[in-house]
Amino acid sequence: MLVNENPPNIKRIETDRPDAYAFEITGHITAPDIENMYGLLEGAYAVHDKIDLLVVIHDYEGFDWSAAFKESTMVGKTHALKHIRKYAVIGGPGWMRPVIGFFKPFFSLEMKHFEADEEEAAWKWLGASRAG
């Protein structure tokens, strides 16, 4: 059996709603991680015009800045703005809450940051839960 020495740092979390998507982000985020996540979201947009999104961040170690400015990442961000109704972020680095607060007035989607110990409240705000 082969062991993946570089497992993805962004993993999908199954939810109880077909139009609710969730991801877990850990470690150092690379361009392939971001491309994989946006690929999964593009698939969601093909099925649902609008989705709700929840992201759980823990053990965050940063990301490749070059990945943030790749064309595919920019296209993914643009599509996300058109298709996401509600966006919940749980945990993450200390700068996460102020950044979300700063950008919130500029977007039509609802965004909210929750502390790491507020995961249950985030799922409730989104109106979804983990599947199973």
Band (pLDDT 50/70/90 cuts) for residue 65 is confident
Give me 116's structure tokens. 């790491």
When pLDDT is averaged across residues 42-55 and rounded to a whole number, the result is 94
The pTM (predicted TM-score) of the whole model is 0.87
List own/partner pairs for 78-84 with CB under 8 A and 24 or more apart. Answer: 79/38, 79/41, 79/42, 79/45, 80/38, 80/41, 80/53, 81/107, 81/108, 81/109, 82/45, 83/41, 83/44, 83/45, 83/48, 83/49, 83/50, 83/51, 84/50, 84/51, 84/52, 84/53, 84/109
pLDDT of residue 118: 97
- Domains in the chain, CATH or no CATH each: 10-126 (3.30.750.24)
Check whether 105 has a pLDDT greater than 90.
Answer: no
